Every structure is written in C-alpha cells, then in structure tokens.
Amino acid sequence: MVVIAVIAIIFVLIYLDDKLGQLAFRNGRKKVVYPERRSDIALYVNGRHLFADYFAELHRARDHIHILFYIIKSDETTTPFFQILKEKAAEGVKVRVLVDWVGSLGLPKALIRSLRASGVEFAYTRPPCFPFLIYRLNRRNHRKITVIDGRIGYIGGYNIGREYNGKDANFGEWRDYHLKISGEGVYDLQEQFLHDWEEATSKTVADKHRYFPELPAGAIRHQLVATDGSALEEQYIHAIRHAKKEIMIGTPYFIPSRPLFNELMRALKRGVRVTVLVPLKADHLFVREAAYPYFYRMLKAGARVYRFYQGFYHAKTIVIDEEWCDVGTANFDRRSLFLNGEINCYVFDRAFTRLVKQAIERDLTRSEPLTLDFWRNRSLLDRGKESISQLISAWL
C-alpha cells in the first residue's frame, strides 16, 4: 500500500508540474511568421547525398558557420563534421554550434571541451531547471538550422549521426527530407538561429550586420514559420481546410490533436483524397500504437495509410493539391504542435510541390498499405499498447 501511495503521489506531482508549467508559459508562447521570400531551393531525400553537399559547403565557409540541431551524435559520421568545424575556427571563421540539451545529451564532455579549445562556440538550448522541471524537460528545441556565411541555409528533418547516414542496421535506410536554400530565405534562417542562440546563452551577438549580407531573389516563392508550442495546429488546420483534391502527409509520428484530426475527417467527407505515410518500424516506445485509433477511423472514411518498410521514414512534409507543400522540422503529432520549438518552410510553387509529391510517391512504392483487416486482427499486446499510448499521447 505504501508503494502504491508513493507512486500515486509521484504521478500527481508530475501532473501538477505539467499543468502549472503550461499555465506559466502560456503567455510566452509565440510564432514568428517571416515574410514571403524568393530563393533557390534544393530537396534532399538521402543522407549520403545531403551530408556530402553539407560538408563541402562547410569547407567553403569564409566568415561564419551557425549550426542548430536537435541531435548531434559522436560517431564515425560526425568525426569529419567536428574536424571541419575545428579547422574553420582555426582559420578565423566564427563557428557557433547549438544543440538541444535532451536530444544531444550523449555528447562526450571531452569532445565539447576540444571544440571550445579550438575556438568553436558551443551551447545547449533549454537545459532543465526549476520550477516546472518536468514541463521544461518536455519543451525541446527541435529545429534544425544551418547558415553558412549568411548566404546558404539548410532546414529539414535530418540530424547528424550514423543512423541518418543509413549506417545503423537497426534502422537501415533513413528516409528524410531536407532543404538547401540560397537566396532571400537565408535571412530568416539566420534571424531564427541568432534568436535561439541569444536565448540559450543569454548573450547578445555583437556586430550582427556582418551576418546579413545582401541576398539575391531566387526562383521559388516560400515562407518560413517558426513556432514554439503554439500556432502550428491552426496553420495545419487552415491548410487542410482549403484542400480541394488531395492531401499527402509524411510523418514518423501521427498523433494529431482532436481539432486537427476532425479537420482531416471533414476533408475526407467532402471528397478530398487523403494519403498518410508513416514508418513500419518505431524508434520510440508506443508512438506506432498511438496512431492506430486515428488510422482506423480514417481508413473507414476512405483514407489511404501506408507504412514504409525499406528502412525508417522520418520525413516531415505535407502536400496539398500540387500547389502548396511544407517541409520542415515539425512532426504531425502533439509534441510538435504544443511543446517543441519548430521551423517549417511553406513553399508556394507548383513545380517544387510536384517534386516533393514525387518523392512521397516513390516512397509509397516501398511501403505497405495498412488495412482494416490488419487493424481488426492486431494482437492483445498491441491493443494494450494502444490503450497506454492514448493516456500518454501528449508526451510521445
């Protein structure tokens, strides 16, 4: 009885910490909608290709390198990455590296010391602290931004580590979507990075004008939107509400809010073709099962749901009517909607949107359809996991 009472008290304290934290941070949540821009944008869907280009651009840096990732690992993929950063810092290039405290918790302290000794400025974003420790632990900076010399930027779903390069046997090929931006949009990536850096370090960056060179307009109209635990839900609802023919969603985690899910169901009722692509494998406990109740209702309403089996599917993308697409860092789940700091790129270009749609369609050929029969015949263990996942879905 004593053990049960202690467990009950712990759960109550966690619940109160979370709810009080939500109230305390409610007024501080915000979104930043950057102006519509024109840039040249390249899409990467393969880690080897992305990192080959990414490392080459890092080598060419002359003034500064600004890097923000949720996860940076210490392994054979990141060894050359860290070496480039040290060499660039030794050449006099200003190098700043910002990582999420939870996502990159495993980075060796000796590695961080060596980076700092070489001249690289390194910081953690959102370390846990009191009050509201549990709530703060959940509010992660999930953005992935790189800016090189203020002229080239990267944003998307890839972190840096061996699994993202397809070298982890547990995952196989890592499927993700990442953008390389050159043109006006880099200005906004820079603005967001500097905001996150100053928030994490509590230091003002001096001589900011050096980081904002004059940039040419590119060919593709787009807009960057940064969110921090709010506003993303309403943006997705607005986009889905205006869909006329087709909605395609690629995400590793499908745990929508009730209003967002209801909007998808309304789209199905008015005849919009809805396709959802998720991974067959799961990289976190309960996330796969948390999606099944939503999938059951969607399948009954006529949606198509596919599970990518050739590796792990980690892309975060939405395509609507071949007219609008979103590629960014936000998953289609409650954590990205209501907790994480995210940044997405909305593209208003039919040719580029078709390119993203074609990437999804290629991935569909390496996926299996989820059927109502499969759902009805799932095991008792899976049904039990679903019940648990529904209770903790807001934290998955």
DSSP per-residue string spanning 94-129? EEEEEEETTTTTTS-HHHHHHHHHTT-EEEEES---
- pLDDT of the residue at 135: 87
Q: Is 149 a catalytic residue?
A: yes
- pLDDT of the residue at 8: 63
Least confident of 29-43, 89-103, 185-199: 29-43
As a whole number, mean pLDDT of residues 335-353 equals 97
Span(s) in the chain for CATH 3.30.870.10? 37-218, 228-392
**Active-site option among 73, 142, 222, 357:** 142
pTM over 0.75: yes
**Active-site option among 178, 180, 222, 314:** 314
Q: Is 316 a catalytic residue?
A: yes
Q: Is 142 a catalytic residue?
A: yes
Q: Is 314 a catalytic residue?
A: yes
Q: Is 249 left (phi over 0), alpha (psi -120 to 50) or beta?
A: beta
List, for residues 150-183, the tens digit of each pLDDT value. Answer: 999 999 999 999 999 999 988 999 999 999 999 9
In whole angstroms, what is the distance from residue 367 CA to residue 121 CA?
A: 42
Percent of the chain with pLDDT over 70: 88
CATH fold group of domain 37-218: Endonuclease; Chain A (3.30.870)
Q: Which CATH class is domain 228-392?
A: alpha beta
Least confident of 21-30, 118-127, 172-181: 21-30
**Active-site option among 88, 144, 180, 385:** 144
Nearest to 152 by CA among 294, 232, 42, 257: 42
**Active-site option among 178, 316, 357, 385:** 316
**Active-site option among 321, 326, 349, 363:** 321
Q: Is 75 a catalytic residue?
A: no
